[in-house]
A = this chain, B = another copy of it.
Amino acid sequence: MSFSKGFRCLGYFRNLHYRQGVVNHRFNSSYALAYEVFGEPTEVLKKVPIQTERHVKGNHVMIKYLASPINPADINTIQGVYPVKPTSFPVIGGNEGVAEVIQVGPNVKNIKLGDKVIPSGSTTGTWTTHRVLTEKDLIVLDKNIDTMFAAQIAVNPCTAYRMMQDFVKLKEGDSIIQNGGNSAVGIYVIQLAKFWNIRSINVIRDRPDLEQTKEYLKSLGADYVLTEEEIRKRELMDKIFSDISKPKLALNCVGGQCATDCVRHLDDDGTMVTYGGMSKKPVVIPTGSFIFKNHKYVGYWQTRWNMMNFNSSQRHKMLEELTELSANKKLITPKVIQVSLDEYKEAIENMQKGFSNAKYVFKFD
Contact = CB atoms under 8 A, between A and B. Distances in A.
Interface of A: 83, 255, 260, 274-277, 282-301, 304
B255 A276 contact: no
A283 B276 contact: no
B276 A287 contact: yes
Contacts of A300: 290-291
B304 A290 contact: no
Contacts of A298: 290, 294, 296-297
A190 to B, nearest CB: 21
Given A282-B285, A282-B286, A286-B282, A299 B291 contact: yes
A294 B285 contact: no
A276 B282 CA distance: 20
Contacts of A287: 255, 274, 276-277, 282-283
Contacts of A277: 287-288, 291
Q: Enumerate the 6 nearest inter-chain pairs by beta-carbon distance, A residue then B residue, closest first.
A: A290-B299, A277-B287, A274-B290, A297-B297, A83-B292, A291-B299
A290 B284 contact: no
Given A83-B288, A288-B83, A294 B283 contact: no
Copies of the chain in the assembly:
2
16 contacts: A274-B290, A276-B291, A277-B287, A277-B291, A282-B284, A282-B285, A283-B285, A283-B290, A289-B299, A290-B299, A290-B300, A291-B300, A292-B299, A293-B299, A295-B299, A297-B297
B294 A296 contact: no
Nearest to A280: B287
A41 to B, nearest CB: 20
B301 A292 contact: yes
Contacts of A294: 298-299, 301, 304
Contacts of A83: 288, 292
A284 B304 CA distance: 24
A255 B287 CA distance: 7
A292 B255 CA distance: 15
Contacts of A293: 299
Contacts of A291: 274-277, 299-301
